[in-house]
């Protein structure tokens, strides 16, 4: 019994150590995936997004988007709401861009990331 408890404690400690070695890896990976997805889906055709080609202007600039209060003037600018908007921008001037829920969540993480604002013009 004592051995079992010691083993469980050791496994728990090992788990905690792994978290400490890699701070927030999921968040960083989502941001990186989001940048790639935004490029692949052609968001830059209509939007200025720092670091993404070609920086079109038929939609509003998304530079520093994390600092905006609202999404298309309709709802609070939170990453989860942004992902929902990207999946279905119905009722706004933005045409729906077919994408997976994961693409939407990743792009929302990217648009809310600090490096994105650091590259802003
Ligand atoms: C064909 C042009 C077009 C494409 C492609 C496009 N958008 Fe848009 N987008 C718009 C327009 C126009 C609006 C303004 C909607 C409104 O305010 O009614 C908009 C609005 C937005 C907003 C809200 C902006 C604000 O000021 O609140 C976000 C965020 C956004 N788009 C992200 C994206 C992302 C991410 C992609 C790629 C997956 C994308 N858009 C692709 C035209 C486009």
Structural domain range at position 105: 24-118
Question: Considering the domain boundaries, does residue 6 fall inside one?
Answer: no
pLDDT 10s digits, 77-90: 999 999 999 999 99
Please work out, in degrees rounded to the nearest 5, the angle formed at the alpha carbon of residue 57 by the alpha carbons of 51 and 61: 55
- Name the domain count of the chain: 1
Ligand 1 midpoint to CA 113 (Å): 18
Atom 40 of ligand 1, residue of closest alpha carbon: 43
Question: Considering the domain boundaries, does residue 68 fall inside one?
Answer: yes
Reading the block at residue 111, the tokens are 């648009």
Domain of residue 62, CATH code = 2.60.40.420
Best residue for ligand 1 mutational test, from 51, 53, 59, 90 (most atoms within 8 Å of Cβ): 59
63 prior amide bond cis, ω within 30? no
Reading the block at residue 95, the tokens are 């045409």
pLDDT 10s digits, 10-43: 555 555 554 445 555 668 999 999 999 999 999 9
Q: How many residues does the chain have?
A: 121
d(CA 68, CA 20): 32
- pTM reported for the whole predicted model: 0.82
Question: Considering the domain boundaries, does residue 5 fall inside one?
Answer: no
């Amino acid at each position: 019994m004592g051995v079992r408890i010691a083993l469980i404690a050791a496994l728990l400690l090992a788990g905690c150590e792994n978290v400490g070695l890699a701070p927030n890896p999921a968040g960083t990976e989502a941001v990186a995936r989001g940048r790639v997805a935004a490029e692949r889906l052609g968001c830059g055709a209509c939007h200025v997004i720092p670091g993404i080609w070609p920086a079109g202007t038929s939609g509003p600039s998304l530079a520093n988007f994390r600092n905006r209060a609202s999404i298309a003037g309709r709802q609070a600018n939170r990453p989860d709401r942004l992902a929902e908007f990207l999946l279905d921008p119905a009722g706004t001037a933005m045409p729906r861009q077919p994408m997976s829920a994961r693409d939407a969540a990743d792009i929302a993480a990217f648009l809310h990331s600090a490096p994105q604002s650091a590259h802003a013009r």
